[in-house]
Amino acid sequence: MKTRNTEHPTSNVQHPTSNGASARTLTSPLRRGLLRIGCFAALFCVTASAADDDAPREANKFFESEVRPLLSKRCFECHGEKKQKGGLRADSIGALKTGGDNGPALVPGDPEKSPMIQGVRYGDKDFQMPPKAKLPDTEIATLEKWIKMGAPWPQTEADKGKIAEGGFTEEQRNWWAFRPLAKVSPPEVASAWVRNDIDRFVAKKQAEMHLDPAPEASRRELVRRVYFDLHGLPPTPAQVEAFVNDQSPDAYEKLVDELLASPQYGERWAQHWLDLVRYAESDGYNADEYRSAVWPYRDWVIKSLNNDMPYNEFVRDQLAGDEIAPNDPNVLIATEYLRNPIYEWNQRDVRGQWEIILNDITDTSGELFLGLSFGCARCHNHKFDPILQKDYYRLKAFFAPVHWRDDMKLATPEQKAKYEEQEAKWEAATADIRAQMDALTKPLVDKKVEKAVDKFSDDLQTIIRKPGDERDALETQLAGLCQRQMTREKKTFDPMKSLKSEESKTKYKELEAELKKFDNIKPAPLMDAFVATDASAKAPPTFMKSRKGEQEVAPGFLTLLAPGDPDIKPIGNSTGRRTALANWITRPDNQLSTRVIVNRVWQYHFGRGIVATASDFGKLGEKPVFPELLDWLAERFVAEGWSLKKLHREILLSATYRQTARRQATEVAAKTDPTNHLLWRFNPQRLDAEEVRDSMLEASGELDPKAGGPAEDGNSMRRSIYTTKKRNNQNELLRSLDAPAGFSSTAERQSTTTPTQALLLLNGDWPIQRAHKLAGRVEKLDDAWIYTLGRLPTAREREQAEAFIKKRTGGAGAHSSSSSDAAENAGEFKENTPQERLLVQTPEKEGDEFTVEAVFTLNSIDTAAAVRTIASRWTGGKDSLEAFGWSLGVTGEKSRYKPRNLIIQLVGEDDNTNIAYEVIPSNVRIELGHRYHASAMVSCVDHNVIFRVQDLTQPDAQPQTVTVPCSVRAKLSGGASSLVFGGLNKRAPQHQWDGRIEAVRVAAGKLPEQELTSADSSKWKSALVNWTAALGPSTQFAWSGSDARATETSDPYRQALNDLCQVLLNTNEFFYLH
Amino acid sequence: MSCHHYDHPHSRREFLRRAGCGFGAVALAALMRDNILAADAVEAKAPVPQKFPDHVARAKNVIFLFMEGGPSHLDTFDRKPLLNELAGQGLPASFKAPITAMGETKSPLLACKRTWKQHGQSGLWISDWFNRVAEHADDLAILHSCASDGINHAGGVCSMNTGSVFGGRPSLGAWVSYGLGTENQNLPGFVVIKDSEGTVVNGVRNWGSGFMPAVYQGVEFNVEGAPIKHLENPKGVTNERQREKLDLLADFNREYGATRTDNTELEARIRGYELAYRMQAEAPAVVDLSKETEATKQLYGMDHEETAVFGRNCLLARRLVENGVRFVQLYSGAGSKWDSHKNIEPLHSKLCRSVDQPIAGLLSDLKMRGLLDETLVIWGGEFGRTPMSEQGDGRDHNPTGFTMWMAGGGVKGGQIFGATDDLGLYAVEDRLHVHDIHATILNLLGIDHTKLIYSHKGRPERIDQNEGHAYKKIVS
């Protein structure tokens, strides 16, 4: 190697030099982090020796005897090593010249222009230094004299802080991440281990550190690793065997190519990108509104990765797709990137919220593309990195014109034209009907909208009321955000509630029916585009606020790298700013963005980046472990056309990647690199949340490979990337395994272990169901291992498993109560008997409009507040998508709805698509011991529940009918629970029925009154579920009793197998690649 | 390379004892009493940075009584005679016009209808909505000058819990768990209990761990049935059967780990399951109130319908703290029920009644048991309410000046700190931003908040985003 490594800093703690004798222990990140936080300033002062210069001896003497003591005594306390008030340090000339938040502190040679002098003179009462007391006049004079002399500072130290071009020190410019990519050639190493150039860099560094690489992983280890790495899924048993038995010399290469080419690759790697861009499908904050049109972006990411779209294009489309190809929906959708910030539609402080959104886009873009913590420079110059406060606003200005559009469609111009043509036909045909409808509703809607407008501050109201073409860019942006609140008023307008007279309601309904007749010529709606464009070709101003006041800032790149103003030209009705930014970020010689992406790819393959802090290449981050390799990879990546797949291939084919993870640290490694920075083995890794969930589904044989489209809840059998991602209601399993919630960019997943995670995996319904499904496909013991771990059990494991099953089956007690008993007390529900609850098997669901009817007698109510349940489809939870459901029952002693109230509890989505839990009381009291016939008709369409209750014990009692409004709007039968009579999904004694339930019927839809009048269940019309106790058990209905063995299965062998499968799904081997 | 000299321990228990020696991993490290030792053993992504408490801790535990929705300071603890004098008039022009959440800006001032009395030797003014709490006036340090950034509930509740109106940062309880660990390995260090099924604004992320590992997050205790979600065995699974499963799991994991002893996460996962099992055993006992005397239950108001729920939660809080839970947060009015944009009189009356006796009982009980000295009790909401009326008889949100109080845990009782202006709209004296309040609480726990640092994406993050100051006048 014609070594370039001298150009890289070699004196930092992570980089032991090649001097073997002084090989140091690699400090743990913990210690290094602390060191950096606490002692960074100290390190800063340690200077390299420099030759003495020819500065006038007198000046030095004056400085050392007069000035330095003065600065030390008066200034350093607040502007020194420990504190940097106002971002200013006064302990080096460089720092003073660069200055703090308010610019340079002094101008050499010109005391009058030096803010420092203005401060000590106490002329301006808002700027007095030191703030405690004015300096004696003699000291002020000393400072003035010194500055007049040109502010000499002894060269040895001045070197360190010397201001180079653009106001930055040499040290700052020389920070590794800002240096241009080095032209590196892979070093020559004599090692048989080396397979490709990557390995040369690694081998050289390892040799320097007296480390040796690990042997190649076994085929079984490798196949599992590479499947998870590229697909996020375990290999099937057949895939394992195919690779293990492939005798061809390029078996591994073939496997890598095959995996990279298959669509599951995109589904795995898109997850990494979605983490980084903080993708989520809801707004965040409290009104966590569902973003129904956001999923096409997720699919775009998957597709782009599968197509190996060059990374520069991938970035450009996301930053400026609207400017690049405004008419191509496949490009436009990429600008969803600009829509990921959290947001609340009902926020009244629209200006404030818009600022927060722009800041969020700026912060994220800085760390995502450039690997710099720009956010730190929002309020002051970055304390550690050469990012000026102004640079923050220069970056922000690129995004300032962004306008969140809700009026666009994901369609080609042809599709739009076709749609418009068809819509015009429909409009013409229905003009009269709609005009009549409008005549009825418009005054009411307008009033509602006007009320919403009134809630904004006066200035916003003025903007809202302006015609669109008179608004400037900022006004367009703000009005757009305000408009959501007015749109909401229109959307939630309910003519049936708002229209006053019955007559107008009837009329409206008739018109509605009339309008419906034209549905056949109405075009299918185009997909909404959840995207952004600029508000206009003229950008709104971007202001930087500092203590000096506001200053307008024009767009620009990092001053250190590109101090000038970029060339920006409007593109159509757009400023062209983001195109300019995208072009700069994707310049082939952009040393930041190229290193950042290459490092991220490396990190996702190895579990740790060459730079361990993938989103922070600054001073608070880690330095690269293999700096030359990083630059070499980045160069090559660009040269190979920004191809991620080629980069993957290069990495995957290396001997470095193929090392086994099954190696314990050697003595040397344990001492010098216990945390494996230098890759003397493969890093063991825990699977990511999505991988765990997907693997469980794969093991149970339930995984649904359907790709793309709208997200589904966690009960779906699809891959986790298609699981609905609501920021406030994450899927429980994924959250517990560290999937990020989507509030901020996540560069690295955590891997935590908590007891609550173990509880969920052991006792949660979802994991248990997977275990049972898995057990169902296991024919012999070996299968359980093959499905879960992709291998046969060891002899010892088989022995243990057999012993486990034997113990269980040998000790099995009597089966559940005989069927003759059951027939005798048919319909009796009693705690601690075999007839606690009746589980109903039905493939169909009742939907959001349904009727439950039952004949029952209640013996007791709960002494606390729990509800005795007649029928339910409910887990009993209230805050997850799995909990969606309902439960009809009677309240307990301490219920806030008073005891013995017949109620229905609903969990579903409300207007905001938030999860809503709601109790709908009938306020009809159920007498104990009386026989009742009751029904509840639930309608999320009419927004009400109609109860009909008749006491059959009293011969002449009239049925009572009560209508109660409800606010749940949808998803009532979308939860994880199945239908249960006499209790909830999970055994919960206080919620169980105590008494008789003779018959239950569940019907989809509302039933006419005359179908609900008969208490004789034999006369009931057929429905979704129709159960009568007298008919005895069937395949559709299964008693669940208190007897443990009776619940899931009465077969002790199956039960033991269930448990064994659950154990295997919980093993460390299942969760880890090690 | 691999250690085949491993000999199989004869029992699971023996194995666990051995494993315990080398045991590490972030998550469980944090749960250990001696967290420093454990954190050292791991290449910690989430190190506990230094030994806390770093100065004398006045409080060991915290019970945070969160009145969700924003209780009116003007009708409870912050007496403003001028408000009643000017009632019906507009806000005087000398006051800076506030931004209100509901947009009613020009509404007249609303009189306070409460009767105020001075209480205790200290003579603190407290309204008749908190007559029972007032009996403890001499224990209360009342902070009249609290301020927050969140003008609506989402921002306010998030801010009071995490210091930011944004989601994504760790909550106060998480920071405390991170700094101090837990005292009881079989229980979570941070527990949250709500007074109803209502969803606290923003949901579970209020007690989330943000960018910290999940182990620091608050665990919600249910007050009925199993105290923790998934704590009960699956349907029909006996403890014996659960134990057998865990033993088999430990066996398999032991074998897998035998040649991978340097991966401490593997051991941590084994311990995680054991901990879960012990939690299954211990947590129900902690929430089992059957051994409490009737007198105790009465003290907390559990014998009256309107105070029964919050009373029970306060009693649970005491039991949790006794059992080594570090941080307990009780929500009153879960789902913004303290929010009173109209009809403040009946709404607040009911809620105040529901908490007054329970809180007074909690203070008495803690005192009797000698726990008040080491337990910091905090009362407050996400903000206060405006002196101006809303919709005639309500008050809007006021994050610019409101009251919280603290008791026990080393605070000076019987004193007021800071002040709002004469109408209670803005904090004017010793303004305490949420960041300052968090810093103050940490200070009482013996933590210099500027040293409680979590390194996230290379940035040294603090609870106060580098803006807070501990208010030390409050320390006795």
The reply to whether residue B204 touches residue A879, judged by beta carbons under 8 angstroms, is yes
Locate A212 and state its tokens: 């040796």
B308 touches chain A (CB under 8 A): yes
Chain B within 8 Å of A1067 (Cβ-Cβ)? yes
Residues of chain A contacting B168 with CB distance shorter than 8 Å:
741, 743-744
Tokens of A704: 């649904």
Other CB atoms within 10 A of residue A1054 CB: 16
Q: Which helix (H) or strand (E) holds A1056?
A: helix A1052-1066
A617 close to A570: Cβ distance less than 8 angstroms: no
A787 falls in which pLDDT band (50, 70, 90)?
Answer: very high
Confidence check: pLDDT of B428 > 50: yes
* B55 residue type, one letter: H
Mean pLDDT confidence for A867-896: 91
Cis-peptide into A740, omega within 30 deg: no
Q: How far is CA A144 from CA A90, A114, A161, A762, A1025, in A?
A: 15, 9, 21, 74, 94
- The residues in B 358-417 lying below 8 A from A, measured between CB atoms, are none
Q: Report which of A455, A470, A476, A349 is spatially closest to residue A405, judged by C-alpha positions.
A: A476
pLDDT (0 to 100) of residue A260: 98
Find which of A27, A364, A756, A804 to mutate to test the B interface (most B CBs within 10 Å of its CB): A756
Put simply, whether B280 touches A (Cβ < 8 Å) is yes
Which residue has tokens 């057998």? B244
- Element (DSSP H or E) covering residue B119: strand B116-119
- ipTM score here? 0.71
Mean pLDDT over residues A6-34, rounded?
35
Q: How far is A1071 from chain B (nearest CA, A)?
A: 9
From chain A, pick out residues whose CB is under 8 angstroms from the CB of B235: 986-987, 1040, 1047-1048
State whether the Cα torsion A425-A429-A430-A436 is positive or negative: positive
* Backbone region of residue B202 per phi and psi (left: phi > 0; alpha: psi in -120 to 50; beta: other values): left
User: pLDDT (tens digit, 9 = 90+) per residue, A214-237?
Assistant: 999 999 999 999 999 999 999 999
Dist. CA B328–CA B192, nearest whole Å: 6
CB-based burial, A1000-1020: b 16+ in 10 Å, e otherwise: bbbbbebbeeebbeebebeeb
Three-class secondary structure of residue B112 per DSSP: coil
Mutation to test the A interface, candidates B211, B240, B244, B459, most A Cβ within 10 Å: B459
- Percent pLDDT > 90 in chain B is 61
**How many Cβ contacts (< 8 angstroms) between chains A and B?**
256
Distance CA A634, CA A624 (A): 13
Span A428-443, average pLDDT: 96
What radius of gyration do chain B's Cα atoms show?
24
Q: What pLDDT is recorded for position A163? A: 54
Higher pLDDT, A592 or A124: A592
Q: Residue B119 and residue B77: Cα distance in Å, rounded?
A: 11
Rounded to whole angstroms, the Cα distance separating A94 from A167 reads 9
Buried b (16+ CB within 10 A) or exposed e, A718-744: bbbbbbbbbbbbbbbbbbbbbbbbbbb
Give CA–CA dist A505/A501, Å, rounded: 6
Q: Are B276 and A755 in contact (CB under 8 A)?
A: yes
Type and span of the H or E element at A267:
helix A264-276
User: What is the structure's pLDDT at A567?
Assistant: 94
pLDDT band at A274 (very low <50, low <70, confident <90, very high): very high
Q: Does B248 touch chain A (CB under 8 A)?
A: yes
What pLDDT digit, counting tens, does each position of B144-178 carry? Answer: 999 998 888 888 999 999 999 877 899 999 999 99
CA gap A541, B378 in Å, rounded: 45
Query: Which residue among A34, A456, A743 places its CB closest to the CB of B103?
Result: A456
Closest-CA residue to A209 (of A26, A13, A9): A26
What pLDDT digit, counting tens, does each position of A92-104 carry?
A: 787 788 777 777 8
Chain center to CA of A659: 32
Contact (CB, 8 A) for A949 and A934: yes
Numbers of helices and strands, H then E, in chain B = 13, 17
Q: What integer is the mean pLDDT of B442-469?
A: 90
- The neighbour count for residue A180, using CB atoms within 10 Å, is 10
How many alpha carbons fall within 13 Å on the CB side of residue A823? 6
CA angle A180, A185, A188 (to 5 degrees): 145
User: Are B385 and B73 spatial neighbours (Cβ–Cβ below 8 Å)?
Assistant: yes
* Interface check A1062 vs B, CB under 8 A: yes
Residues in B touching A1064 (Cβ below 8 Å): 252
Residue B273: pLDDT band with limits 50, 70, 90? very high
Q: Which residue has the higher pLDDT, A156 or B448?
A: B448
- Chain B residue at shortest CA distance from A451: B103
Distance from CA of B391 to the nearest CA of A (A): 13
How far, in Å, are A281, A530, A726 from residue A292 at the CA level? 7, 9, 11
For residue B4, pLDDT beyond 80: no
| Residue reference for tokens 């195109």 | A579
Q: Measured between beta carbons, which residues in chain B are less than 8 angstroms from residue A988?
A: 225
Residues 6 or more apart in contact with residue B357 via CB below 8 angstroms: B132, B300, B301, B304, B307, B311
Nearest chain A Cα distance for residue B72, angstroms: 22
pLDDT at A661 over 80: yes
Gyration radius from chain A CA atoms: 35
What the block records as the tokens of B264 is: 């401490």
Residue pair A411/A419 in contact by the 8 Å Cβ criterion: yes
Lowest mean pLDDT among A30-39, A228-237, B75-84, B271-280: A30-39
What is the structure's pLDDT at B130?
A: 98
- Using one digit for the tens of pLDDT, what is the confidence trace for A470-510? 999 999 999 999 999 999 999 989 998 889 899 999 999 99
Closest approach of B205 to chain A, Cα-based (Å): 7
Chain A contacts of B276, Cβ < 8 Å? 755-756, 758-759, 762
Nearest CA in chain B to A1069: B256
Query: Which of B309, A881, B251, A111 has its CA nearest to residue A120?
Result: A111
Taking only residues 424 to 463 of chain A, the set having a beta carbon closer than 8 angstroms to any beta carbon of chain B reads 454-457
pLDDT at A762 over 60: yes
Q: Is A325's pLDDT higher than 60? A: yes
CB atoms within 10 A of CB A564: 9
Q: How far apart are the first and last CA of chain A?
A: 34
* Low-confidence winner among A168-177, A815-824, B288-297 (lowest mean pLDDT): A815-824
Residue B237 pLDDT grade (very low, low, confident, very high; cuts 50, 70, 90): confident
CA distances from A661 to A215, A679, B250 (A): 9, 10, 22
- Note if the pTM is more than 0.95: no
Q: Which of A763, A1060, A1067 sits opposite B232 (nearest CB)?
A: A763
Residue A743 forms contact with B (CB below 8 Å): yes
Which chain B residues are closer than 8 Å to A86 by Cβ? none
Query: Which residues in A324-334 are b (16+ Cβ under 10 Å) and which e?
Result: bebeebebbbb
Identity of the residue in B45, B268, B276 whose CB atom sits nearest the CB atom of A750: B45
Residue range B333-351: average pLDDT?
93
Nearest-Cα distance to chain A for B219, in Å, is: 8
> Which helix (H) or strand (E) covers residue A857, if one does?
strand A849-858
- Asked if residues A209 and A678 have their Cβ atoms less than 8 Å apart, the reply is yes
d(CA A956, CA A61): 114
- Give contacts of A986 with chain B, Cβ < 8 Å: 235
d(CA B427, CA B221): 35
What does the block give as tokens for B408? Answer: 């026990």
- pLDDT average, residue stretch B69-82: 97
Closest approach of chain B CAs to the CA of A709, in angstroms? 28
With a pLDDT cut of 70, the percent of chain A lying above it is 91
According to DSSP, the β-strands at B190-194 and B327-332 are parallel
**In whole angstroms, what is the distance from residue B48 CA to residue B40 CA?**
9
Is 60 exceeded by the pLDDT of residue A54? Answer: no
Which of these ranges, A24-33, A882-891, B210-219, has the smallest mean pLDDT? A24-33
Tell me, yes or no, if A766 comes closer than 8 A to chain B by beta carbon. Answer: no
Tokens of B171: 């909550």
How far from chain centre, in Å, is Cα A47? 44
Decide if A348 and B153 are in contact by the 8 Å CB cutoff: no
Tell if the CB–CB gap between B168 and A664 is shorter than 8 Å: no
Q: Give residue A983's pLDDT.
A: 93
Give mean pLDDT, residues B255-263. 88
pLDDT value, residue A629? 98
Of the residues A359, A753, A838, A1043, the best mutation for testing chain B's interface (the one with the most B CB atoms within 10 Å of its CB) is A753
Task: Calculate how close chain B gets to A797, using CA atoms only, in Å.
Answer: 7
pLDDT score recorded for residue A375: 85
Name the residue with higher pLDDT: B402 or A975: B402
Mutate to test the interface with B, among A752, A914, A1074 (most CBs of B within 10 A): A752
Q: What's the confidence (pLDDT) of residue A166?
A: 57
Chain B residue whose CA is closest to A356: B166
Q: Identify all chain A residues contacting B205, using CB atoms and an 8 Å cutoff.
A: 728, 741
Q: With bands split at pLDDT 50, 70 and 90, how would you rate the model's confidence at A1048? A: low
Q: Measured between CB atoms, does A1044 come within 8 Å of chain B?
A: yes
Is the pLDDT confidence value at A7 over 70? no
Report the sign of the C-alpha dihedral through residues A270, A271, A274, A276, in that order.
negative
Q: DSSP per residue over A12-43, as a string?
A: STT---S-GGG--PPPPHHHHHHHHHHHHHHH
Mode of pairing for the β-strands spanning A549-553 and A685-686: unpaired
Using a CB–CB cutoff of 8 Å, tell me whether B5 touches chain A.
no
First to last CA, chain B: 59
Give the bridge partners for A552, in sequence order. Answer: A543
Tokens of B180: 């101090």
Average pLDDT over residues A926-934: 94
- Residue window 662-691, chain A: list those with CB within 8 Å of chain B: 662-666, 674-675, 684, 686
Q: Are A519 and A427 in contact (CB under 8 A)?
A: no
pLDDT for res A869: 96
pLDDT for residue A5 is more than 70: no
The 10s digit of each residue's pLDDT in A410-425 is 999 999 999 999 999 9
Q: Does A30 touch chain B (CB under 8 A)?
A: yes
Res B31 pLDDT > 50: no
Tokens standing for residue A226: 């590479």
Q: Is A750 on the interface with B (CB under 8 A)?
A: yes
Tokens of A119: 């401060």
Provide, as residue numbers in chain B, all residues whose Cβ is less than 8 Å from the Cβ of A1069: 252-253, 256
User: Using one digit for the tens of pLDDT, what is the confidence trace for B307-323?
Assistant: 999 999 999 999 999 99
Mean model confidence pLDDT for chain A: 87
What's the pLDDT at B389? 93
Distance CA A256, CA A354 (A): 45
Residue B458: which of A620, A666, A1066 has the nearest Cβ? A620
Q: How many angstroms separate the CA atoms of A836 and A360, rounded?
A: 54
pLDDT tens by residue, B105-124: 688 999 999 999 999 999 99
DSSP A187: P
Q: Tell me which chain A residues have a C-beta less than 8 angstroms from the C-beta of B382.
A: none
Rounded mean pLDDT, A762-770: 93
* A contacts of B47 (beta carbons < 8 Å): 30, 33-34
* pLDDT, average across residues B365-376: 96
pLDDT exceeds cutoff 80 at A6: no
For all residues of chain B together, what is the average pLDDT?
Answer: 86
**Sign of the torsion angle spanned by Cα atoms A380, A381, A387, A389:** positive
Query: What crossing angle do the helices spanning A644-652 and A251-261 adopt, rounded to 10°?
Result: 150
Mean pLDDT calculated for residue range B213-231: 82
pLDDT at A382: 84
Query: Alpha carbon of A712 to those of A707, A720, A764, A771, A969: distances in Å?
Result: 12, 9, 20, 22, 18
Question: Are the beta carbons of B236 and A987 closer than 8 angstroms?
Answer: yes
Put simply, whether A833 touches B (Cβ < 8 Å) is: no
